[in-house]
Structures are given as structure tokens and as C-alpha cells.
Structure 1
Amino acid sequence: MNHEVIVTCAVTGAGDTVGKHPAIPVTPKQIAEAAIEAAKAGATVAHCHVRDPKTGRGSRDPQLYREVVDRIRSSGTDVIINLTAGMGGDLEIGPGEDPMRFGANTDLVGGLTRLAHVEELLPEICTLDCGTLNFGDGDYIYVSTPAQLRAGARRIQELGVKPELEIFDTGHLWFAKQLLKEGLLDAPPLFQICLGIPWGAPADTTTMKAMADNLPPGAQWAGFGIGRMQMPMVAQAMLLGGHVRVGLEDNIWLDKGVPATNGTLVQRAVEIIERLGARALTPAEGRRKLGLPARGERQLERREAGQYA
């Protein structure tokens, strides 16, 4: 069991939740405020996507990320910033016998283009989705090829950002371990076991344990389940020795019929952690646990070099 738990809050995601919840964060201001709310509720890490303020759909616009990061960094509230680098892997196969007629939801770019905002803003952590996946029913595929992943991992390593290795199925874990073997990841690696997304790995004890048992020695890891499995997987991850993730990206309900906020989901997770005899780590403690620079250290280095701070 893990008695010192990093709590990540994934505050908005890119999914079709706008309109299904009264207050999904959409604008950069709302997303930054959601991250700050989560931190004040006890989150160690804020995991951020951005959305097009006009449509609410997921975006990879670096200017939107810049505003979110600027607002968080200037707020006076400490939280480890984790930016997604998963946008740009969306492929909607054409219908029926015309698979090459890609759908309107396709947004497919190379592995380095997916890192444009990471290059500019140097968050402490960014994600690396470690494989291709049938994502839900229909014809939607998330694409992340071995060549793209090697290029992305190498660039993230050069930038000095810590990759959070998103593991949606067992083959993803296999390949992430190969990246480590090839020297494209710095030790200790950080894994996020993502459960319950159709049709990846299911959110259950057997699956999480199997993945946790196959992690490389010395790895840090967290796990989560989506929807109603969010809180059960909080307890399960820490009992198996891992860290946890909650947030509106993965689940929009606090209780049946009661919409959640990022703050209330973090509070619920912290309560579970404490009732099991453990505690949630502060951002400063989380940095030490993950081997990250102290708060502001990287930004100070860039400011001294005349770069963005």
C-alpha cells in the first residue's frame, strides 16, 4: 500500500462533456481556475487539456495553453502542471466500405507537432500516449505509432520535461518499457494506468494489478478508472502501491444525479486516502517524489537564458 499519495486532477479533457454537465471548464480562464480549485482542494498535480472557447471541442492551440499556464503560474497557488500532448492523434475512419474517406473528427499530426506547446511552455510533466487504440464504438481510432512515440520521447527527454506514460492496454506498457530499454526515458519513469475506456483495458482489480506487477523496478505509477469506477480505482491504486487520478475529464458525477466539480472530486479522493490511513502529498513533496526540479527552477533558468519564463 502507498501511504504517500500524489493526487492528479484531470480538469477538463477533450471529450464530449460540454452540455452534459453545467460547468465543464472551456475557456483558458475557466481551465486555469479549475486547476487552482483542484490544488486548493488537495491536488498535487493538475492535468490540463485546452478547448476551443467557441465550440468547446478539444484543441491543441499553443496560445490557449500559454494562457492557461500563465494564469496558473501567476496565481500564487502551487500545483505541478501536467499538459496533455495527446491531441493530434484522432483518426475517424470513413464509413462502411469507404474507410479512406476520413471523417470530420480526424485531427492527425506527427509526434513532434503534438509537442508544440510543450516546447514553448516547458511544463513539469507532459503526457505520452503509448500506443494506438480503438477508442469507443464506431470508427474512431487514437493513433500513436512506435515511430511517433520514439520521436516524441526523444524530444521530451531533450526538453527536460518528465513524460507521464499513458497506458491504455497491456501492449502500451510493453512498448513503454521498450522506450526505457532504449534510453529514451529517464529514470524513474512515471506511468499512468488508464482503465475503463472502451476498448482499452477494463477498470477492475485484476487488470490494474496485472499492469502494476509488470512495471519496471523503481517506476512511479498512478491509475484511474472512468465514470462510476473513478473512486473505486482511487482506493485500488493506492492499495496496490500507486498514486491516483480524479477529475472532470474522467467522471462528471460526484454521486448519482449530483454533478461534480474538480474540487469536490479531489476532496472525495483525499477523504478515501486519509480513511485508508495514508495522506495526499503537497506539490513540493510530489516534486521530490517524482524527481522534478523545485518550483520555478526551470522557469528561472529560461528567464536567465532570455527565453520564456
Structure 2
Amino acid sequence: MLRAASLRAIVGVRATASSARRARDDKPPRRTLRAASSTSASVSSTTIAPFCELLSRDESSSNATRPLAVVIGWFGCELRHVKKYAMMYVDAEWDAVAVAPPSVSTLVPSVADTYGDYVLRALSKRQAMERRGPIVVHVASNGGFIFAGNLMLKARNGDARARALFDRTKGFVFDCAPGNLRPDIIARAAAAVIGGASATTEPAPIFEAFAKALMMRPSIDARLRSIDEVWGKAPASSVEDASWTPPHCPAMFAYSEADVLISPREIEAFARLREEKTGARSDLHKYHDAAHCEIGREASRFDDYRKKVHTFLSEIRGATVQ
């Protein structure tokens, strides 16, 4: 009953937000699914869970050991936007799962857990992990970082499907992430989502008051702290389960000096910290004029981003999978 109610809440919130955006603005979307190769028509897209699709080349064999990218979108994103970035991996002959976590699943632990179970179950049923090679997890903004962190917490707590995901993970890609989560960041992100525009420095006092109250709730505060801990962003407050640790693998960071939501200094600090803690390298790629989570908005910048991702993948693909 809880799972059904949570899913209805997820669908209801997403449908309401989408309807509101369409009612305010009938302009065509700014982001569209884009493939680099002439064979883009051969890409199949299969819904495997709510707001979650598997993208693959039609000619790929279900028995082939193919690498997989799990691409998790930002707060308030739409699936079609996430699929554009997932196509970077399909163009590199990887399969990709695009996930657009509903906004409510970012900050409400019970909904995050329920939706996370749907995604993990879908991956398991589709055998998207068992028959494939190494996995790369791509997270966008704090929203993607938080949702992936929730999945990582499941792995730490013994969830077999979550462990299967992260035990095969051989690389991370961080897109405009992570930053230090504060009420003003949540507020301005929410204002951008509802307004259907890029984030700005303009204060959003009503949203900020709500975000502050939300973050003060003990369950939410504890969950966000646990997520920072499992990512290694904050010191562990308790003895960790020695039977499982998050993957210590290379990471790529794509971020922008012009980002008004997440400071590039915070991203760089996390990259250095992660490198020190794990011994795995961090590749930093800074852009100078891209808005938050819009590195791929312009064609020339998207092409450069894709090339950098492909270079990173070429080093990951040969990684040994246990």
C-alpha cells in the first residue's frame, strides 16, 4: 500500500508540474534528443520504470557483454532532457538508462526509497546489468547526486540489486555536481523548474522558507547527511559496514564557471577530496559560459562534452568486472 501510494504521489507531482509548464509556455523545448551518428534511427528506447528508459542500438545482441551508463538527471528535469545526455553513451556503443527522478523523490526519503526500488527492480528484470560489462554512473546537479546517493545507501544496507549496480561501476561522471546543499539553492532551483527557465541569482524567498523548513525535518536532515557520508563528501558519523564500500574508481567532472547554483569551487573541492580518499583520479573539465546543467545546450559545446565523455569511456571500457 505504501509503495502504491508513493508511486501515485510521484506520478501526480510530475504530471502537475508538466501541465503547469505547458500551460505557461507553448514554445518548443530547448533541449532535444540528439545523436551524432547517421545511424541514430536504429536506437531503441524502452520504458522500464516510471520516468526511466533503456536506450540501446537495435542491432545489439541481448547476450552481448555491453557496457552500460546509468544517467540520472537533475532536480525537476524531464526525461527527454536526460535522454539527450544518455545519447552521448549510445553514440559510444554503450547502452544507457536515462532516469529523471521526480522532484519529490529528491528530498522525501520514503519516496526516494520507493522510486529507487522501482528503478533497481526494472534494471534487474531487464537484465540490464547482469549481461553487460562495466557500468558508468552519470549524475547531474545535486538532484542526481542525491538520488544516486540514495541508491548507494541501499547498497551499503545490503540491497543485492543496488550492490550489483555499484559493484560493476567503474567510473562516475559528475555534471555540475556536487555542491553544498542549502535552502537558497533548492529555492532557486525550484523557481527555475516552475518558471521553465535557467536558474538565476534572483532570491526566491517563499521557496527558500519552505526549503529551510523541509531541511530541518530530522528524517530529511539525517538522510542528506548519510548521502554525503556514503559519497565521501562528509566524515562518517558511525562505523561503516566493512563488507561493502562504494566503488573507488575514476571520475570525470564537467562544470561551469558561470554556474549560479553550484559553485565551481565546491565541485573542485569535492574532486580533490575524492581523489585523496579513494586514490582514484579525477578529470576536471571546466567551461566558462554554460548555465547550470546546460553544458550540452549549444551544439558546439555538446560536441566537446561528448568527446570528453568518450575519451573517459575509452579508458573505462577495459575495466575488469567482478
Q: Give TM-score, length-normalised by structure 2.
A: 0.41
Higher helix share: 2
User: What TM-score do the two structures reach when normalised by structure 1?
Assistant: 0.42
Tell which has more relative contact order, 1 or 2 (C-alpha 8 A, sep 6+): 1
